[in-house]
Structure formats: C-alpha cells, structure tokens
Structure 1
Amino acid sequence: MHHVLLDPIAEEQIAALPDGALHPLAALFALLEVAPWSGQPYNPANPKANMLTHTFGERGLATYIVLDEQREVYVIRIEWP
C-alpha cells in the first residue's frame, strides 16, 4: 500500500475545488493507495516514467509521481477546469 502525499500547490488547488469534486477526488486517492500505476503516462513518449495522470469525477485531472521504493504517491497538481 502506498501513502498519498500532497504538494503545497496541489493542496491549494484542492481547497479551490467545488464540493462535487471532493468525493471523486477522495475515491481517486483511495485507488492510488492500492493501484498507483493505474493512471496514464504524463509523457506518452516515455510510458515507463513514474509521472502519471489520472482523471477523477466529470472533469478532474490529477498529476502525480509514483515513488515505489518509498511506497509513496506524490500528487503535484490537481486540475478542475
């Protein structure tokens, strides 16, 4: 199981999310704890890199880094257009 950590910028972005986005985001964090590699490569030209993106809710996108040796997922950005 991985531990989900948040970058300070991601924390600010989460604070600005509408209420309807919080439950899907929490579900994504629960998924990332057990299946951190379930997202899509951030850079399709480098599909084995540890920086990934994962959608959540209707319009959300999380960008994160998987740190397997530390058993961590470091969320760097949360987008909700």
Structure 2
Amino acid sequence: MFKLILDPVAEEQISALPDHALRPLAELFTLLETAPWSGDPYNLANPRANMLTHPFGERGLATYVVLDRQREVYVVRIEWP
C-alpha cells in the first residue's frame, strides 16, 4: 500500500473541481494507493521515469510521482479543463 500525498497546488486544484469530478478522483486515489504504476508516462521519451499521468472522470488528469522506496505517491497536479 502506498501513501498518497497531495502537493498544495493539487489541493487548491481539487477544491476548484466540479462536484461530479470528486467521486472519480476519489476512485483514482484508491487505485494509486495500490497500483501507482498503472498510469501513463508523463514524458514519452522517458517511459521508465517515475512521473506519470492518469485520467479520471470525463476530462480529468492527475500528474503524480511514484516514490517506490518511500512507498509514496506524490500528486503534483490535478487538471480539469
């Protein structure tokens, strides 16, 4: 199990999400606690890097860093265009 940590910017972005985006985001967070490598590489030129993205809901995208040794997932940004 990985510990989920939110960057302060990500926290602000979450507070601005529409209500219908919150449940899919919560489901994504549950997934990231158990399968953090399930996302897509942030940088396609470096697919083995530990920065990934994962879609959620209809239009959401989370960007996060997997820290295996610490068993942590650090959520950097939450986007909802």
For the aligned pair, the TM-score class normalised by the smaller chain equals over 0.9
Mapping of 1:25-64 within 5 angstroms? 25-64=25-64
Opposite residue 20 of structure 1, the aligned amino acid is H
Opposite residue 33 of structure 1, the aligned amino acid is E
Q: What SS does structure 1 have at the residue aligned with 2:47?
A: coil
CA distance in 1, matches of 2:59, 2:4: 21
Mapping of 1:1-81 within 5 angstroms? 1-81=1-81
Deviation >4 Å, runs of 4+: none
| TM-score of the pair, normalised by structure 2 | 1.00
Unmatched runs of 5 consecutive residues or more in structure 1: none
Opposite residue 52 of structure 2, the aligned amino acid is L
Identical columns (%) = 78
Please report how far the alpha carbon of residue 46 of structure 1 lies from its aligned counterpart in structure 2 after TM superposition: 0.1
- What is the Cα-based RMSD across aligned positions, in Å? 0.2
Please report how far the alpha carbon of residue 2 of structure 1 lies from its aligned counterpart in structure 2 after TM superposition: 0.2
Please report how far the alpha carbon of residue 19 of structure 1 lies from its aligned counterpart in structure 2 after TM superposition: 0.2
